[in-house]
Amino acid sequence: MEPPKNHRDELRINIQVLESDISKLEEKIATRELEKATILAKMQTRLFLERIFAPYIDGICSAWGVTPEEGLRILIEENETIDKIAKNNPKELKELLNQPEMKVIITMVAPLGSVSDDWVKDKIDVLLDIMKELRPELATVIETPEGME
């Protein structure tokens, strides 16, 4: 025995409303997860920039006798990266990484160590925003076409 037509229509409408509500909840959950991931990425990025990148670039530039902005420009012009410098100086890298404070920082920013180039490209606005807060002069150098490359 089938329910009356108006009852079936009412059930169909109720199902559609529930499906719509579920879809909205799934969207809210995804948005909140993205917001949490962005907040975490910002925190990790800030730690990375403050505790690893800035002291590293400052140290390199101090040894070269140039400002960090000049040093970053030199790295960009020579198509060098911190990764390349680290790989070419394994002894110095090992000494740096063995410092107790570096071990703590590395643990905190570890998720950034496994990010892809695509992730960096996707998050470049976040990275630059934080860099502008911390070291606006370096952000200006990075924002050049060569620096973005």
pTM for the whole thing?
Answer: 0.56
Look at residue 21 and tell me if it is in a domain: no
Look at residue 22 and tell me if it is in a domain: no
Look at residue 137 and tell me if it is in a domain: yes
pLDDT digits (tens, 9 = 90+) for 121-138: 777 787 888 989 988 998
pLDDT digits (tens, 9 = 90+) for 20-32: 999 999 999 988 8
DSSP string for residues in 68-85: HHHHHHHHHHTT--HHHH
Look at residue 139 and tell me if it is in a domain: yes
Which of 106-110, 116-120, 140-144 ranks highest by mean pLDDT?
140-144
Look at residue 89 and tell me if it is in a domain: yes
d(CA 97, CA 102): 6
The total domain count for the chain is: 1
> What domain range includes position 54?
37-148
pLDDT digits (tens, 9 = 90+) for 39-90: 887 887 788 788 777 877 787 788 889 998 998 888 888 888 767 877 888 8
